[in-house]
């Protein structure tokens, strides 16, 4: 049991360190072109998550995301007793990633990008941002079910999920930071003790989106495929 929780912690650490670290690195090397920065963020987050899932999926299932954990619970893919420990492990792993990133990176650079924490564009409202996160996380959890959980899923490790994260970041990154993951958002915030005033959108949107995806896939798509 402890092995599964440790796997969730380590997998989330890998994902957040790479994802948030890419924001700091991009700022450091002076990549100020918005298109280039967006592509770097998409690749780093997508590949970081793909590797994290591939390492841990055989041990814990590779949720690495409190919203995904809830989506798997509603699809009856993980036991209820694992949900709280998984979420705690994911948040701890993300926070450790944020702390280590702060320890190894110049603060003059990290502070500019809020240590890789996602941010909401001034061009959209909090409600729009919440809905954006909901939709992107819905797509993410559908990919989790379709490429990992489903017994007919292609054996490609976490790379199917990594691809949808890459696509989601390219789509929603300029507007919400495309967190799709409360741990990805909160880790750098907790580590730096600097919280966005709208931090809650990174819980509300992803959790609702994950819940909808878990219910729809497990009760409609998965069942209908058996008939």
Whole-number pLDDT of residue 225: 54
Is 130 in contact with 201 (CB distance < 8 Å)? Answer: yes
pLDDT of residue 43: 97
- Identify whether the C-beta of residue 188 lies closer than 8 Å to the C-beta of residue 117: yes
Burial environment of residue 153 by CB neighbours within 10 A (0 to 12, 13 to 18, 19 or more): middle
CATH number of the domain that residue 27 is part of: 1.20.1080.10
Joined together, the tokens standing for residue 80 give 């209820």
Q: For residue 227, what pLDDT is reported?
A: 47
pLDDT at 224: 58
Q: Which two tokens stand for residue 200?
A: 């809650």
> Measured between alpha carbons, how far is 215 from 110 in angstroms, rounded to an integer?
39
Number of domains in the chain: 1
Residue ranges in the chain modelled with pLDDT below 70 = 224-227
The residue segments making up the domain with residue 34 are: 2-226
């Amino acid at each position: 049991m402890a092995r599964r929780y440790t796997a969730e912690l380590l997998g989330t650490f890998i994902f957040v360190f790479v994802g948030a670290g890419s924001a700091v690195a991009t700022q450091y090397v002076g990549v100020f072109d918005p298109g280039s920065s967006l592509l770097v963020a998409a690749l780093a987050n997508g590949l970081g998550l793909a590797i994290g899932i591939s390492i841990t999926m055989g041990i814990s299932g590779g949720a690495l995301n409190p919203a995904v954990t809830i989506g798997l619970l509603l699809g009856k893919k993980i036991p209820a007793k694992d949900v709280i420990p998984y979420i705690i492990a994911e948040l701890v792993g993300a926070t450790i990633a944020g702390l280590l990133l702060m320890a190894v990176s110049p603060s003059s650079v990290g502070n500019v990008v809020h240590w890789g924490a996602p941010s909401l564009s001034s061009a959209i409202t909090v409600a729009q941002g919440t809905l954006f996160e909901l939709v992107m996380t819905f797509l993410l959890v559908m990919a989790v079910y379709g490429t990992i959980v489903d017994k007919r899923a292609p054996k490609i490790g976490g790379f199917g999920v990594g691809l949808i994260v890459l696509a989601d970041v390219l789509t929603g990154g300029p507007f919400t930071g495309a967190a799709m993951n409360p741990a990805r958002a909160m880790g750098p915030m907790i580590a730096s003790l600097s919280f966005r005033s709208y931090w809650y959108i990174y819980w509300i949107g992803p959790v609702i989106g994950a819940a909808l995806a878990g219910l729809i896939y497990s009760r409609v798509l998965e069942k209908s495929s058996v008939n």
